[in-house]
Amino acid sequence: MMVELLRDRPSTTEPATTVPGDTWSADLVTRSGYAFHVRPAMPSDEMALGEFFTHVDKEDLRFRFLTAIQKVGHDQLQALVTVDHQRTENFLAIEPGTGLIIATAMLAADETLTNAEVAIAIRADFKRGGISWTLLDHVARFAVAKGIKTVESIESRDNHEAIELERERGWTASGCPGDPTVMVLRKTLDVAAT
């Protein structure tokens, strides 16, 4: 299942400085002790997010967007920063002190808020520090709070790191009907825990 991102953001009366969904901003610490801030994306993040993607390995860009991509364009960036904060959320991991975006995690749910798809990207110079694991756990907590029962990730069969990460976090892998080049990794969430 590929979940379409909502492109139209509902109108709001919140001041421009308020981050919608701000209750999901947090300071997180990886297992290795690296601390970073996470918050929902805002439309004003488009330029910084575009810069972030120039520091993601080309292979990781292909894995994230499941296509050979050289540059993340305006339409893609708009979809990542203009979310409804209900069915879709894009979390940005930010390095303290510099404000540098070091990772992003998008969650897009179906209309019933039953199932959702997650996709993560991380800067090449911040890989292997536990950021992806910690960010994935944060996204899972958000999904549980929304009542989402199942999260899944569509991964290229070549993306061994992501597949291993998700399996270590309790996700199960299966083939994707009609496309032997990708795998679907899925996790059932404990919504009763909230």
Instruction: State pLDDT tens for residues 18-28.
Output: 445 457 899 99
Instruction: State pLDDT tens for residues 75-101.
Output: 889 989 999 888 999 999 999 999 999
Q: Which of 6, 78, 13, 94 is nearest to 42 (CA)?
A: 78
Q: Alpha helices of 10-146 — where are they, by DSSP H? A: 46-53, 58-65, 74-81, 131-146
Would you give the DSSP letter of residue 95? -
Tokens 């590929």 -> residue: 2
Alpha carbon distance 40, 58 (integer Å): 25
State the pTM of this model.
Answer: 0.79
C-beta separation of 142 from 24 below 8 A: yes
